[in-house]
Amino acid sequence: MPDVLNEGQQATMAIAINDAALNLPSHDPYRRVTDILQRLSPGRMRIAFLLGAGCPLSIRENGDALIPDIAGLTQLVKASLLAVGNTAALTTGLWERFQGRGIHKPTIEDLLSHARTLLSLCGEPGIDGFSKAQLKAFDEGACATVRSAVSKPLPAEGTPYHTLASWIQSIYREHPVEIFTTNYDELMEQALENRGVPYFDGFVGAASAFLDLDSMVEDDLPARWARLWKMHGSINWWLTKNNQVRRSRDKIEGEQLLIYPSHLKYDQSRQMPYLAMLDRLRVFLRAHQSVIVTCGYSFVDEHINAYLAQGLAGNPNASCLALIYGDLVSAPDAVKLARRHANLTVMAADGGVIGTVERAWCCDHKDNNPAYEIAVTRDALPPERSASPDGQCKWLLGDFAAFGKLLASQLSNREAESGLAE
């Protein structure tokens, strides 16, 4: 055990002791809100956010999500590839293979990983009845469809991305705020630039930025510069004909879009950006007094989960606060990890796993803190989100929009305190 506990650890230990003494059959969601706000307060603690595919869903246009989730993207890709002659047969064949393996809802990442594996093994005659040209056409067509679907501009104001950018800008810290994301859209970049927040994403340059691994390793930029690590690639990453990785919104003929890591031995040039971004997660979790907050991430990526588990197991001063949109049953991998690692706290709509113990939320109502109304409700949620009945306390912060409101509340309180001090 470390000689000195940080503020977040002290709060967690106090909650655990109190719950144990009272033999409570449920977790107190209001204590969790206070704990989150304490950890995000100005101080020496290192702060990171892991934003998953659920975050863009919080932004709605005419009732629809600005960017579809993975299931929606998969259907878009499937429809577009089935409509093209040289990719239709391969698309049908890949779907049938996954169905035969009992995977009834493969994602576009599953399909691309399999297609890229075949391509890496493919000779000029082809493989498994598919030609090299078909496999390349499938890869390029899938990436082009996804790029079109997620290349959406962020609304001018009022999104949780803007709030997060303002939060980063407004609170001074000794260490930079780091943002890890599995998303390949440019919403976070747009928000940071809108708020004038300088950031480093591993690339250096302007018209055609290049990946600078040495700068990522050294990481000696000012703390006011945020760090943005896109672990699944981006719609503006390209693999050049010379096997170099560049970042640009302009496509050059013959270059390939770098999205969806296959996590398989396919091509070293493709793997390097992903491995470098994942390594930043490893480095962050090794640091003293670090906390990473996940939102919109359902813990389905085995490689990211492995890095989280290794970091939490190897550093008792590191912690992870997982904000889950739906019920606990919607994130079984998160629950499994939290039962093994006491410094991983999972907070879902119907309950949480805290200190390895899974419990529902208690129903005691508190209104002495305005932040509580943002994070907790007793009203019924849509059935696709939670099966908890009306009257049962439910956790709301798994919704990126609600989490943005919590950050805005914290900023508002700081402004009020500053005004009183003056």
Q: How many angstroms separate the Cα of 65 from the Cα of each of 60, 72, 395?
A: 4, 10, 21
In contact, 27 and 361? CB cutoff 8 Å: yes
Domain match, 180 and 280 both:
yes
Specify whether 393 is located in the same domain as 408. Answer: yes
Domain total of the chain: 2
Per-residue burial over 357-382, b = 16 or more CB atoms within 10 Å of its CB, e = otherwise: eebbbbeeeeeeeebbebbbbeeebe
Dihedral of the alpha carbons of 76, 78, 81, 85, in degrees to the nearest 10: -140
pLDDT at 270: 61
Same domain, 51 and 110: no
Which of 130, 150, 170 is the last residue in one of the domains? 150
pLDDT at residue number 350: 96
Is residue 40 within 8 Å of residue 414, measured between CB atoms?
A: no
pLDDT tens-digit readout, 98-147: 988 888 888 888 888 888 888 888 877 888 888 888 888 998 899 899 99
Bridge partners, residue 43, by sequence: none
pLDDT at position 359 is 96
Residue 1 domain-assigned (yes or no): no
* Domain end among 109, 124, 150: 150
Same domain, 60 and 134: no
Q: Are residues 224 and 97 in the same domain?
A: no
- Residue 384, number of CB atoms within 10 A of its CB: 8
Task: Using alpha carbons only, give the angle 349, 57, 279 rounded to the nearest 5 degrees.
Answer: 85
How is residue 153 annotated by DSSP? P
284 and 386, same domain (yes or no): yes
Kindly tell me the sign of the dihedral angle through the C-alpha atoms of 210, 216, 222, 225: positive
| 261 lies in the same domain as 119 | no
**pLDDT 10s digits, 139-194:** 889 989 999 999 999 998 899 999 999 999 998 888 999 999 999 899 999 999 99
Q: Express the helix, strand and coil content of the chain in percent, nearest 5 each.
A: 45, 20, 40
Are 302 and 381 members of one domain? Answer: yes
- pLDDT score at 105: 87
The residue with tokens 């981006």 is: 234
Strand 290-295 with 199-200, pairing? unpaired
Strand, helix or coil for residue 20? helix
| Same domain (yes/no): 275, 141 | no
Owning domain of residue 210: 7-65+156-421
Which pLDDT does position 1 carry in this prediction?
38
Q: Tell me, yes or no, whether 347 and 252 share the same domain.
A: yes
Same-domain status, 42 and 84: no
Domain closes at, from 119, 150, 181? 150
**54 neighbors 184 (Cβ within 8 angstroms):** no
Give the C-alpha separation, 149 to 76, whole Å.
8
**pLDDT reported for residue 262:** 57
**2 occurs within a structural domain:** no
In sequence order, the 6+-apart residues with CB closer than 8 A to the CB of 7 are 38, 39, 41, 43, 45
Shared-domain flag, residues 33 and 118? no
Which residue is listed with tokens 């706000």?
Answer: 37
CB 152 within 8 A of CB 67: yes
Determine the Cα–Cα distance for residues 25 and 162; give it in Å rounded to an integer: 38
Report the amino acid identity of residue 414.
R
Gap between the terminal Cα atoms of the chain: 41
pLDDT tens, N- to C-terminus, the chain (422 residues): 344 444 444 444 444 444 444 445 789 999 999 999 999 987 778 999 999 999 999 998 888 899 998 889 999 999 999 998 888 988 998 898 898 888 888 888 888 888 888 888 887 788 888 888 888 899 889 989 999 999 999 998 899 999 999 999 998 888 999 999 999 899 999 999 999 999 999 999 888 899 998 999 888 889 999 999 999 989 999 988 888 889 998 888 888 888 866 555 445 556 778 888 989 999 999 998 899 999 999 999 888 999 999 999 999 999 999 999 999 999 999 999 999 999 999 999 999 999 999 999 998 888 888 899 999 999 999 999 999 998 899 999 999 999 999 999 999 877 544 443 34
- Work out whether strand 344-347 and strand 209-211 pair parallel, antiparallel, or are unpaired: unpaired
